């Protein structure tokens, strides 16, 4: 019986498809638009594949988990996207007249996503199962992680980029590493305590 990793290689399914799928799921969870989610997912997968080969200008996200979780999520005041681009989920992206995301003047349409991702994945497993798994996995993370591209890359995509589809083929459910979930939960509790202390102080003054 071939190993899942061997089947994925034969089908041409790898990190590119994982990135496209999770980026599409990320967009859909936040914006609830399936067609644009497909366009965004393929667009980001193409961008990061290009940046990997040609982009010393682009950060490789070599930061510690602690730095990443505590960094400011918003762009610096006054910093804007280059002309012809708009900000989408923390990244500057080109948008065509028809509303699809694009790179180098080329649109990434839902049909393109189906060709490059859905059809390849469907050779190995039920697509609806893969899509549901992606939505469930992405939904495990808080919105402030999903809306930040650096956090998404390091906390959501990177831990499963080589295992997401292999786990599904084995009948397993992709899940974030335990230490990341523990860190996120610890931060959530800290923020709740901080808000409560602030409310208590306000109530005492009034």
16-53 tens-digit pLDDT:
999 999 999 999 999 999 999 999 999 999 999 988 77
Helix (H) or strand (E) holding 128: helix 127-138
Encoded tokens for 126: 């039920």
Residue 201: is its pLDDT beyond 80?
no
Number of H helices, E strands in the chain: 11, 4
Look over the chain and give the mean of its residue pLDDT values, rounded to a whole number: 86
Residue 72: is its pLDDT beyond 50?
no
pLDDT category, 74, cuts 50, 70, 90? very low
- Is residue 176 within 8 Å of 152, Cβ to Cβ? no
In this structure, of 15-24, 68-77, 83-92, 97-106, the range with the lowest mean pLDDT score is 68-77
More confident residue, 143 or 64: 143
What integer pLDDT is reported at residue 73 of this predicted model? 43
161-188 exposure pattern, b = at least 16 Cβ within 10 A, e = fewer: eebbbbbbbeeeebebeeebeebbeeee
What integer pLDDT is reported at residue 66 of this predicted model? 55
Main-chain phi, psi angles of 59, to 5 degrees: -65, 140
DSSP code for 160: G
Angle between helices 15-31 and 127-138 (to 10 degrees): 60
- d(CA 150, CA 54) in angstroms, rounded, equals 18
Encoded tokens for 152: 């998404």
- d(CA 45, CA 85) in angstroms, rounded, equals 17
Nearest to 68 by CA among 183, 192, 185, 176: 183
């Amino acid at each position: 019986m071939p190993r899942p990793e061997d089947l994925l290689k034969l089908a041409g399914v790898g990190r590119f498809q994982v990135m496209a799928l999770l980026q599409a799921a990320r967009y859909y969870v936040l914006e609830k638009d399936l067609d644009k989610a497909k366009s965004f997912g393929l667009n980001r997968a193409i961008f990061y594949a290009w940046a990997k080969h040609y982009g010393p200008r682009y950060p490789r996200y070599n930061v510690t988990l602690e730095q990443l979780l505590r960094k400011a999520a918003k762009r610096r005041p006054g910093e804007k996207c280059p002309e012809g681009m708009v900000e989408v989920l923390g990244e500057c992206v080109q948008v065509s007249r028809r509303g699809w995301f694009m790179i180098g003047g080329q649109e990434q349409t839902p049909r393109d996503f189906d060709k490059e991702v859905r059809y390849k994945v469907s050779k190995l497993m039920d697509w609806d199962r893969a899509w549901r798994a992606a939505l469930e996995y992405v939904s495990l993370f808080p919105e402030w992680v999903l809306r930040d591209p650096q956090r998404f890359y390091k906390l959501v995509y990177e831990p499963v980029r080589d295992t997401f589809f292999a786990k599904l083929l084995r009948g397993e459910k992709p899940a974030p590493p335990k230490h990341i979930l523990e860190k996120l939960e610890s931060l959530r509790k800290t923020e709740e305590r901080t808000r409560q202390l602030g409310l208590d102080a306000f109530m005492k003054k009034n």
